[in-house]
Chains A and B, each alone.
Chain A
Amino acid sequence: MAAAAAVSLEQIDWENPEQIGLWQDAWQRFRRNPIAVGGLIFVCLLVLDALLAPLLVAVHVIADPLKQDVANSYAGFSLQHPLGTDYLGRDLMSRVMFGARISLTIGLTVQVIYLLIGGTIGLVSGYLGGRVDNLLMRFVDIWYAFPDLLFLLVVVSIFQPSLFVIFGAIGIIGWVDLARLIRGQVLSLKEKEFVEGARAAGSGPSKIILRHLLPNTLGPIIVSLTFGIPRAIFLEATLSYLGVGIPPPTPSWGIMISDGNQAIFAYPHQVLVPALALAITMLSFSFIGDGLRDAIDPRMRR
């Protein structure tokens, strides 16, 4: 902003104004937000960790998360085990680092599914209105009332409980919230003047939806997606607790939290370590989310 203000009137070329695309502009503004950048850095570190964790184990930088040492179960912080060990003597730090892989994947993949299914249905339903809206929303009603747990039980028993099955199942169940959120936004936005203007200018429905409605619904969507990530991770933990979760011995933060809960009186660090990892991840995503929303908003005032 300071740089822009310093440009004097003579220097502006009125014949060829500087063109920047929406996203380039957004990226520039995003970069100027230290908190958002901080969040992005942490998430990048997390992704790096997720990708490199097996390599780190192979070169003995961190312990093998599957290696049991039951004589040392529930150990506290030490040089050998910086974050202690769990009930089977497995190193907690490496389990947290490996847990990131599962949790990140679940958190992100599921949001993508939500966006694809829920986003589409919400946009279409809200914009078209009338009978289409009614039918789609009744379909959503049915989906809401669905006994999720029963559905998951059946799905998991028909197909073996594997990661893909569980991701898919969680995604298929949970898109309804986003659909209703987006539909609500669209219902209110489509009566606004700029939409009328676009229609008057001759834009077809898909163009109106994608270029005008979607960007203006982004704020709440981003919040919903950002919150959706820990929600998905918790759902995975609840599912493990109820018996339809990720099969052992793969570590995930959700499993570590729900298992560690048993020992909260005696060894609180079992729960606190993964919970802290989850909290910091969540913070990072929400900073990114805020930064994104601020950066994209064309009316952003700084």
Chain B
Amino acid sequence: MAVAQGAPPRGALISFKIPRGRGVSLTLYIIRRILWLVPVLFFVITITFVLMHLAPGSPWDREGKQLSAAVVRNLNAKYGLSDPFLVQYLRYLVNVVHFDFGLSFQYEDQPVSALILRSWPPTAVIGALAFVMIVIFGIGIGVVAALRQNTWVDYAVVGFSTIGASTPAFVLGIILIIIFSVSLYRITGGNFSLPTGGFALDQHLIMPVVTLATLPIAFIARLTRASTLEVLRQDYIRTAWAKGLRERLVVTKHVLKNSLIPVVSALGPTFAVLITGSVIVESVFAIPGIGRAFVVAVSSRDYPMILATTILFSVIVALANLVVDLLYTVIDPRVRLG
């Protein structure tokens, strides 16, 4: 069988060389992808704008006592909501180009960008930590389970991953709080326990990160296992065993890179979701993050906040997908992009 021109021979070390002459050069590709952000963002903003104005209810509807019509009229005037839809839309686009994302409706007159800059760091820190855990443990135990298929190790992994996947985050979170905060506090007479919630760069991070990471670890572990099993059955792997190569060598040089494609596909969106926050984990652990802020913004129809947060999410998602696509070429040099 002919080896396709320009591709490194099978079994070679993971190569960082992207074959030239096949498709587009790397830098150009990255630039093009980043430029694509502009139309993507434009569509996202437009769709979100339309959705927001389609959603029934205005920012000024209250749950208990109602604002009088005069007050509502005054509020609409103040925030430009009485202008026609097109005017509001164009005004917003112009402002966005100047990086002016407006003032929040709900937190009267605080600039939305300041609100986001304040609530994003806790979410990002917890999300990033959870992601690291997911990569290490998810892939790690998935590979081990595949190598030891049908042994107790495999069953343990399958079992754990199932239980992890079957417990929603809000249940897992409160169970952890009950065990490691409340009960531990009672048992040790108040001397030692994990903090119940809140955000700080210390042991406050443990429970939220674990809660956030459990379901994705389970999923990534199963995915890795399934994909690794497929690779393990390939002829060339059997050749490697037959040649008597050591297990560790076979795994790292041949198995891993071939089994990681689907895993990387899943990790990209996982990363994006983690960084943009989980409203459930943030509520259960009282973390002042952006996941919760976004949900509150939607419920209270805080249009500027909704738009700005959505723009942030789009950028993150687009970048994460770009990174994933680039990683495809690193893992499997034969993949052609562009």
Contacts and interface: CB of A to CB of B under 8 A. Distances in A.
Contacts of B175: 264
Contacts of B243: none
A20 B168 CA distance: 43
A166 to B, nearest CB: 17
Given A185-B262, A223-B226, A297-B233, A180 B332 contact: no
Contacts of A231: 165
B79 interface: no
B74 interface: no
B48 A219 contact: no
Interface stretch (B95-103, B119-127, B129-137, B312-320): B312-320
A129 B336 contact: yes
Interface string A118-148: 0000000000011000100110111011110
Contact of B4 (A181, A191, A242): A191
Contact of B317 (A144, A223, A226, A237): A144
Contact of B171 (A150, A177, A257): A257
In this complex, the interface size class of chain B, counting residues with CB under 8 Å from chain A, is 35 or more
A127 B309 CA distance: 34
Contact of B321 (A141, A158, A265, A282): A141
A299 B168 contact: no
A292 to B, nearest CB: 11
B334 interface: yes
Nearest to A299: B233
Interface stretch (B36-44, B203-211, B248-256): B36-44
A227 interface: yes
B227 interface: yes
Contacts of A242: 279, 295, 299
A109 interface: no
B293 interface: no
B1 interface: yes
A172 interface: no
B80 interface: no
A165 interface: no
B222 A227 contact: yes
B40 A220 contact: no
Interface stretch (B50-58, B62-70, B193-201): B50-58
A223 B313 contact: no
Interface string B258-278: 000110111011001000000
Interface string B165-203: 111101100110010000000000000000000000000
Interface string A257-268: 110010011000
A220 B266 CA distance: 10
Nearest to A151: B51
A230 interface: yes
Contacts of B13: none
A63 interface: no
A163 interface: no
B162 interface: yes
A176 interface: yes
Given A146-B47, A219-B226, A300-B233, 7 more contacts: A145-B40, A147-B306, A147-B313, A157-B55, A216-B230, A219-B229, A234-B168
Interface of B: 1, 4, 7, 36, 39-40, 43-44, 47-48, 51-52, 54-56, 158-159, 161-163, 165-168, 170-171, 174-175, 178, 218-219, 222-223, 226-227, 229-230, 233-234, 261-262, 264-266, 268-269, 272, 279-280, 294-295, 298-299, 306, 309-310, 313-314, 317-318, 321, 324-325, 328, 332, 334-336, 338
28 contacts: A129-B336, A130-B338, A137-B321, A137-B325, A141-B36, A141-B40, A142-B40, A144-B269, A147-B309, A150-B55, A153-B298, A180-B321, A183-B265, A184-B264, A187-B335, A187-B336, A188-B261, A222-B226, A226-B222, A237-B168, A238-B280, A241-B170, A265-B178, A275-B166, A275-B168, A279-B167, A282-B165, A297-B233
Closest 4 CB pairs of A and B: A145-B314, A279-B166, A184-B265, A220-B262
